[in-house]
Homo-oligomer: A and B are copies of this chain.
Amino acid sequence: MTLRAGFVGLGAMGLGMARNLHKQGLLSAVWNRTAEKATALAQETGCKAVGKLADLAPLCDVIVTCVSADADVLAVIDELLPVIEPDTIVIDCSTVSADTARTAAHRLHKAGAQFLDAPVSGGTEGARDGTLAVMVGGDEKAFERAQPVLQAMGKAVTHFGASGSGQAAKATNQIMCAGVIQAVAEAMAFAKSEDLPLDRLIDTLGKGAGSSWYFVNRAPNILRDSYPAGFRVKLHEKDLKICREMAARHGVQLPLIEMTLVHYRRLIEQGHGDEDISTLFRLKDAMFAAARDSSTPRHKP
């Protein structure tokens, strides 16, 4: 029997993911805070755009949510709770804390329903092409039952364990991105200060042991002095705050997270929050420029 899937949150990511559910004949209904987006997708795909979140419940075996913040996820869950059918699976693809995932799972479980935390990685291209990496936490049987929906959205779908473990895996990835972009930005600012030909350098070091996805794919932004999103600074800041909170529950402050959050705050204040995180090069480069300026001999009175 084909699963009937509902979708909540038709943002840049959600829209692509919902369309891929439609291509597999799974999409039955959608809801979005801005109703126009839901109506447009309903016209495009023939699914139903519901006016209230609660109206999704009787139409869906699986409800996929893709919203912004922890509070949004719990608000959606709480609106569904009174009406959700037993054994419905809610799959949350938002990036939130592992605690929020466990709270959502607990509430739905008490109502006889299931919850999978399933944050994704791969950007809007991945959402559109159905090539996302999907990191899943929650009950193994629910994970098996939700396969058609998960496979329609992603290429690499991995189960990491109990509720929250999908979010923990995503958080691990976001910490790694912070360290790698620090590495790329700091090294390239150094190279520029040494007057190296940066294009040749990217080509050579990109093949070596210091290389990374971000160096190969985003260091060229530095050559063009242009940082189109990409992975927006603002979004990575949000994710790193989640990572910070999760580490703090273990009593630990992680240096790369703390350093990167300081830098991102400065970039956002300077108006670069909607640029790709490789814009961090600006700050590292400015360190060298400031040191140059302060060492330039000034006219003495």
Cβ–Cβ contact A291 & B251, under 8 A: yes
Inside 8 A of A191's CB, which chain B residues have their CB?
168-169, 172
Cβ–Cβ contact A161 & B256, under 8 A: no
| This protein's copies in its complex | 2
The chain B residue with its CB closest to the CB of A249 is B193
Cβ–Cβ contact A213 & B214, under 8 A: no
Q: Give the Cβ gap from A159 to chain B, nearest Cβ, in Å.
A: 8
A200 at the interface (CB under 8 A from B): yes
Inside 8 A of A1's CB, which chain B residues have their CB?
none
Cβ–Cβ contact B194 & A165, under 8 A: yes
A223 at the interface (CB under 8 A from B): no
Cβ–Cβ contact B246 & A194, under 8 A: yes
Cβ–Cβ contact B180 & A179, under 8 A: yes
The chain B residue with its CB closest to the CB of A230 is B209
Inside 8 A of A200's CB, which chain B residues have their CB?
158, 160
Cβ–Cβ contact B168 & A187, under 8 A: no
Known interface pairs A179-B183, A184-B179, A190-B254; A209-B204 also in contact (CB < 8 Å): no
- Which residue from B172, B178, B257 sits with its C-beta under 8 Å from A188? B172
The number of residues on chain A lying at the interface, defined by a beta carbon within 8 Å of a beta carbon of chain B, is 71
* Alpha-carbon gap, A194 to B122, bound state (A): 23
Cβ–Cβ contact A204 & B135, under 8 A: yes
A212 at the interface (CB under 8 A from B): yes
A207-222 vs B, CB cutoff 8 Å, 1 = contact: the mask equals 1111111110100000
Cβ–Cβ contact B193 & A121, under 8 A: no
Q: Give the Cβ gap from A152 to chain B, nearest Cβ, in Å.
A: 19
Which A159-187 residues sit within 8 Å CB-CB of chain B? 160-161, 164-165, 168-169, 171-180, 182-184, 186-187
User: Which of A135, A195, A256, A288 lies at the interface centre, i.e. has the most chain B CB atoms within 10 A of its CB?
Assistant: A256
Inside 8 A of A284's CB, which chain B residues have their CB?
254
Inside 8 A of A122's CB, which chain B residues have their CB?
208-209
Known interface pairs A133-B207, A160-B197; A176-B187 also in contact (CB < 8 Å): yes
The chain B residue with its CB closest to the CB of A98 is B194
Q: A172-B196, A182-B183 are in contact. List 4 more A-B contacts (CB 8 A).
A: A121-B210, A169-B201, A176-B205, A176-B211
10 nearest A-B residue pairs (beta carbon): A179-B183, A251-B291, A212-B212, A176-B210, A168-B194, A176-B187, A175-B187, A172-B191, A173-B210, A177-B210
